[in-house]
A = this chain, B = another copy of it.
């Protein structure tokens, strides 16, 4: 009943909210950022208590979240994201060509399932919410049970912002609870028009299944994690085996490995440099510091997943955290496997969310290429390479772009910039639809659909499509891009 009332309210405010001006929505998003900051140290303390994340990290993440809201506010102020296209009438043609104009319009109420690993940036007022609100869609947030108080506080800030901006109360709503049926009811409700999710393959696919079985199926954008392969190319490995090992050891255990873009597998060709790389990384592992994971559920999944991985035949453990761990602290781990064993065992292709990485030793470059071909879709793929390495291996560079949504040269995949050029997405099972991203300004496109207006009088057309271009946006008019 709570779900039904909530979704009906969301649908009821849609006609009002979709008709707000871009500036009104921009001001709303900015105001949400202001209200979140106004929660001050209380919010940070609450999030620390609920997520076990350190203060500095949460301060940074709060900043990132506010900037993300500003990114979408700027996108709205600039205005061209609606992709306005105008093709003028040609009354003299046989048959006469009508006046035809097109722009993106919001889809309707969106349900957002927050992630636990970013209690601000990928949760209540995170990128999914910000992009849907920017598009003109009312949002219903399913608060993550891992940080209920944090979520409630952030939602409170959003309510204040809505009030300050004279927007209807129900433009954002929040439902708390850890009951699985709650999520199902939200996805299945007829007034729900789209769903955003960040989390596990299992969780994401459950939502997809609910969405598919509706009378009217709806799009679910689920970001479901990734192995984020790192490829050590020969010249680079030869030159920098040691520093690469140290860099990856740090990236794989940063924040206890609780990032969707944690490097989970590392590929290299057998040889002296590779052995040096392996020894160096193995030497780093025992001394890696420990901290509690986000919550007991994640710690349990990590422990079970790691145990399962390490029990696979042919897998060798290279090192583990030496310190005693207690409570929900994880032991970081590094393992080694040969390429053939990896390719034959699907269990080794499953993400282990936490501070664990697997090194895959290949006999030669051809076998390394085969491993890449055998991989499923990924959020990121990293090439540790000299320019000559890349120039000599165009097929490998190309296959990297076919596997992943983001290909990185000489960097770690952790760290996802919130910019227009970001793709946080990728082929299945990294996400449910490789044509979209959940980070960066294009995340808004998940929640908008094109509508063509044929022979509309000027007075009835949306401003974005009127002759005078009152919004001063970039448009394609009779094939010419102009402002």
Q: Chain A: residues with CB nearer than 8 A to chain B?
A: 15, 18-19, 74, 80, 85-87, 95, 97-98, 100-102, 105, 107-108, 212, 216-219, 376-377, 387, 390-391, 395, 397-398, 401-402, 404-411, 415, 417, 419-423, 425, 427-429, 432-435, 437, 442, 445-446, 448-457, 459-460, 474, 476, 479, 481
Contact status A452-B402, CB under 8 Å = no
Can you report 7 residue pairs joining A to B where beta carbons are below 8 Å apart? Answer: A98-B411, A100-B421, A102-B423, A107-B435, A401-B453, A405-B451, A474-B481
On whether A445 and B451 interact (CB within 8 A), knowing A87-B420, A459-B387, A481-B474, the answer reads no
The chain B residue with its CB closest to the CB of A437 is B450
Select A402's contact among B108, B377, B391, B420, beta carbons within 8 Å: B108
Q: What residues of chain B lie closer than 8 Å to A455, measured between beta carbons?
A: 408-411
Chain B residues with Cβ below 8 Å from A390 are: 457, 459-460
Are B87 and A417 within 8 A (Cβ)?
A: yes
- Indicate whether A411 sits within 8 Å of B15 (C-beta atoms), given known contacts A100-B417, A421-B102, A435-B448: no
Q: Which of A107, A390, A402: most chain B CB closer than 10 A?
A: A402
* Bound form: Cα–Cα A428–B448 in Å: 14
* Contact between B459 and A391, CB atoms less than 8 A apart: yes
**Chain B residues whose C-beta falls within 8 Å of the C-beta of A15 in the assembled complex:** 395, 398
Q: How many copies does the complex hold?
A: 2
**Bound CA–CA A391/B461 (angstroms):** 11
How many angstroms between the C-alpha atoms of A110 and B15 in the bound complex? 37
Taking CB as reference atom, which chain B residue is nearest A462?
B401
Closest 9 CB pairs of A and B: A423-B452, A406-B452, A408-B454, A434-B449, A102-B421, A85-B421, A100-B421, A87-B421, A87-B419
Chain B nearest CB, measured from A196 CB (Å) = 14
Q: A95, B415: Cβ atoms under 8 Å? A: yes
* Residue in B102, B405, B406, B419 whose beta carbon sits within 8 Å of that of A422 in the complex: B102
Give the CA-CA distance A181 to B455 in the complex, in Å.
Answer: 44
Q: Once the chains are docked, how many angstroms separate the CA of A397 from the CA of B455?
A: 13
Identify the closest chain B residue to A86 (Cβ): B421
Using Cβ atoms and an 8 Å threshold, which residues of chain B touch A417? 87, 97-98, 100
Give Cα A310–Cα B479 distance, bound, in whole angstroms. Answer: 46
Closest B residue to A399 by CB, please name it: B15
Q: Are A406 and B217 in contact (CB under 8 A)?
A: no
Q: Which residue of B lies closest to A15 (CB)?
A: B398
Known: A219-B433, A432-B217. A101 touches B451 (CB 8 A): no
- In the complex, which residue of chain B has the Cβ closest to the Cβ of A218? B428
**A405 neighbours in B (Cβ, 8 Å):** 449-452
Give A449 to B85 CA distance when docked, in angstroms.
21
| Residues of B contacting A459 in the complex (Cβ-Cβ under 8 angstroms) | 387, 390-391
Q: Cα distance A18–B377 when bound, in Å?
A: 18
Cβ of A428 and Cβ of B397 under 8 Å apart? no
C-alpha spacing A397/B415, complex, angstroms: 45
- Contacts A95-B415, A420-B479 known; list 14 others, CB within 8 Å: A80-B481, A85-B421, A102-B422, A102-B423, A216-B428, A219-B435, A387-B459, A387-B460, A423-B450, A425-B449, A425-B450, A435-B445, A435-B449, A474-B481
Q: Select the residue from A95, A423, A450 with max chain B CB neighbours within 10 A.
A: A450
* Contacting pair A420 B108 (CB below 8 A): no
Q: Are A452 and B100 in contact (CB under 8 A)?
A: no
A425 to chain B, nearest CB (A): 7
Q: Knowing A100-B419, A423-B451 are in contact, say whether A456-B409 is a contact too (CB < 8 A).
A: yes
- Report yes or no: B450 in contact with A411, Cβ–Cβ below 8 A: no
Q: Give the CA-CA distance A448 to B425 in the complex, in Å.
A: 13
Whether A422 and B452, one on each chain, are in contact in the complex, defined by CB atoms closer than 8 angstroms, is yes
Contacting residues, chain B, for A442 (C-beta < 8 A): 450
Bound Cα distance from A419 to B89, whole angstroms: 11
Chain B min CB distance to A478 (Å): 9
User: Quick one: closest B residue to A98, CB to CB?
Assistant: B411
A220 to B: closest C-beta gap in Å? 11
Max chain B CB contacts within 10 Å: which of A390, A406, A427, A460? A460
Nearest CB in chain B: distance from A86 CB, A: 6
Known: A216-B428, A460-B390. A407 touches B481 (CB 8 A): no
Q: Report B-chain residues with C-beta under 8 Å of the C-beta of A427.
A: 216, 449
Closest residue on chain B to residue A95 by CB atoms: B415
Residues in B neighbouring A100, C-beta threshold 8 A: 417, 419, 421-422
